[in-house]
Amino acid sequence: MASAGITLRPINEDLSVSPLLSDGPRNPHCSGDSIMIYLAVPGASMIPMRVMECDSIASVKLRIQSCKGFVVKNQKLVFDGRELSRNHSLIRDYGISDGNVLHVVIRISDLRVITVKTACGKKFKFHIERGRDVQYVKRQIAMTGNPFGELQNQELIFDGEELDDKRIIHDICKNNDAVFHLIVRKSVKVRSKPIERDFELSVVAALPEEDGDSNDFQVTTKKAPGKDVWIEPVLGNPKVELPQVIRDLLHAALAGLEKGHPPIMSSEGTGGAYFMQDLSGDEFIGVFKPIDEEPMAENNPRGLPFSTNGEGLKRGTRVGEGALREVAAYILDHPLSGHRSFSHVDIGFSGVPPTVMVKCLHGVFNHRAGFEHGPKHFKIGSLQMFVKNCGCCEEMGPRAFPVQEVHKICVLDIRLANTDRHAGNILITREGEEGPLMLVPIDHGYCLPENFEDCTFEWLYWPQSRQPFNSETIDYIQSLDAEQDIALLKFHGWELSRECSRTLHITTMLLKKGATRRLTPYDIGSILCRETINKESKIEEIIHEANSTVLPGASEAAFMESISQIMDRYLDELSI
């Protein structure tokens, strides 16, 4: 994203010094007054910072990086309930003035890349969640199937020190460049055999099975705490039949909880997101996001303030509706073969992981008022299948991504008018070491907004978005039907508001008209996004014009007809 292109320059240690003394990448035409703002960082006291009103958000983030060490791309700034997501916009564009407080949310990657080197020079790479311990790494080594990998024979050395099994990865390595040295400790047995008056001593390397309990591979688990933990689907309509993939996910999550493997809170994100574990405790299988832990909801664990007007972190969304939107993105991600009917194909055209609304009970969730076992402490939220990944698009240059993988996400984001498509919300997977890269879109809690003010698409800056859709994608786009989609969501229990329905009608219309004219995802996506915070996007202009054209009290159909005509005129000009 834009932050990637910022040049780093050292600045004064003290954030409250005059902005004229500090040296960020400022607007050359910057003039006007300096103001004092305050940064609220969870776990720290309020930090004063002097800025100019014409400073860019990027420059403020850069100063926070220089003084506090939080890398720019891991920072999220929130002011007055809104994320300051446009790096090139200015402090004054967001209405920030003297004495205001900016909330800083720091995203820390959950995964560490660890290289394990054997004595004979073999290397293995593992992506390990930072909350795991050394024994977990050993189990991953054992699972490679190599003979030296037997768990009980392993010794891991880092920085000249043998690592204790209980040590946590985060405490051992802060970056992705850690190399653990694997020493295979063959235990030996000394046997003595009497030969006349002497003894023959023989030293025998023990076979793994002789070395005790092969159940070492099993995770030691706490006793299952019975009904103190629970998870079950929440269906908006009893007629909805859950697909097998979701039923399997729910069974696996319940088995993990009952075995005593707690949900593990992610260190990333602005809301509470919890990794659900399987029966063995070796695998994450799902991500649970409770609605009351969304940004600005009452139990948000990241220190964000409570929303005063109910509006979410992005304009046109509502606090507490993130889970609905997550599930809607899955339901609307129809497979290539046709409308999602919830009976056969699990993954849709854009690859949104299977997602379902659930209620879940566990003491690890964030309860400000304290936790007691019982029905009132059930949390409702979305459960999404965990996707094994090797990182997200923030960690890799976009050129490596296959065009079709990018296009399938463009189609989804345009349809859903996504207001939160940054590179961290696209996971990268690949089959084997050399297989082609695949992209998996996640985090759809801010799609289908009531208006287009905050639409942002990271892929607008990627070269693939300037290439035309292929014919398969165009056919898919032409098969979309907003009316049917709204009915499908209603069948699942979510009746879209008039505003959100309108959004879906407009985006589907735009996508279809654009694809007919062979416009690229970039051409179409740019129509939905503002270039700067205060300059309306083309779609907003079209809506204004339509509003001024139709008579007061005209029907929604008349309004949409007007949108259609204005859109045709604009797109025809664009495609000349």
Ligand X SMILES: Nc1ncnc2c1ncn2[C@@H]1O[C@H](COP(=O)(O)OP(=O)(O)OP(=O)(O)O)[C@@H](O)[C@H]1O
The CA distance from 167 to 408, in Å, is 41
Per CB under 6 A, 441 contacts ligand X: no
Count of H helices and E strands in the chain?
A: 12, 20
For ligand X, which residue of 443, 450, 454, 485 counts as binding (CB under 6 A)? 443
H helix or E strand, kind and range, residue 36: strand 34-40
> Do the beta carbons of residue 312 and residue 300 sit within 8 Å?
no
Between residues 250 and 427, which has the closer beta carbon with respect to ligand X? 427
Residue 339, token pair as written in the block: 């409308």
CA angle (441, 447, 450) in 5-degree steps = 170
Interface with ligand X in residues 97-116 (CB under 6 A): 110
> Do the beta carbons of residue 497 and residue 490 sit within 8 Å?
no
Q: Which residues contact 273 (CB under 8 A, 6 or more apart)?
A: 265, 266, 287, 288, 289
For ligand X, which residue of 150, 278, 420, 458 counts as binding (CB under 6 A)? 420
Between residues 390 and 574, which has the closer beta carbon with respect to ligand X? 390
| Amino acid identity for residue 262 in this structure | P
- Residue 426: strand pairing partners: 441
Residue 551, token pair as written in the block: 């008579």
Least CB distance to ligand X at residue 539 (A): 23
Per CB under 6 A, 268 contacts ligand X: yes
The CA distance from 417 to 106, in Å, is 26
Between residues 64 and 273, which has the closer beta carbon with respect to ligand X? 273
How distant, in Å, are the alpha carbons of 235, 307, 328, 337 from that of 487? 16, 30, 12, 19
Query: Which span (269-277, 371-379, 405-413, 453-461) binds ligand X, by CB under 6 A?
Result: 269-277
- DSSP of 1-23, one letter per residue? -GGGGPPP----S-TTS-TTTS-
Query: Which span (12-20, 362-370, 417-425, 538-546) binds ligand X, by CB under 6 A?
Result: 417-425
Query: Which span (191-199, 337-345, 424-432, 540-548) binds ligand X, by CB under 6 A?
Result: 424-432
How is residue 240 annotated by DSSP? P
Least CB distance to ligand X at residue 296 (A): 12
Between residues 389 and 404, which has the closer beta carbon with respect to ligand X? 389
The residue of the chain with the least Cβ separation from ligand X equals 269
> Do the beta carbons of residue 326 and residue 290 sit within 8 Å?
no
Per CB under 6 A, 269 contacts ligand X: yes
Interface with ligand X in residues 270-309 (CB under 6 A): 270-271, 273, 287
Query: Which span (20-28, 421-429, 460-468, 530-538) binds ligand X, by CB under 6 A?
Result: 421-429
Least CB distance to ligand X at residue 353 (A): 5
Residue carrying structure tokens 């929130």:
78
Least CB distance to ligand X at residue 385 (A): 6
Between residues 274 and 476, which has the closer beta carbon with respect to ligand X? 274
Least CB distance to ligand X at residue 394 (A): 10
How is residue 242 annotated by DSSP? P
Between residues 154 and 317, which has the closer beta carbon with respect to ligand X? 317
Query: Which span (66-74, 239-247, 378-386, 531-539) binds ligand X, by CB under 6 A?
Result: 378-386
Count of residues touching ligand X (by CB under 6 A): 22
Per CB under 6 A, 445 contacts ligand X: yes
Between residues 54 and 426, which has the closer beta carbon with respect to ligand X? 426
> Do the beta carbons of residue 363 and residue 83 sit within 8 Å?
no
Between the CA atoms of 461, 463, 469 and 473, what dihedral angle is there, to the nearest 10 degrees?
A: -70
Characterize the bridge pairing of strands 178-184 and 111-118. Answer: parallel
Least CB distance to ligand X at residue 361 (A): 21
* Site residues, ligand X (CB under 6 A): 110, 266, 268-271, 273, 287, 353, 384-387, 389, 392, 420, 424-425, 427, 442-443, 445
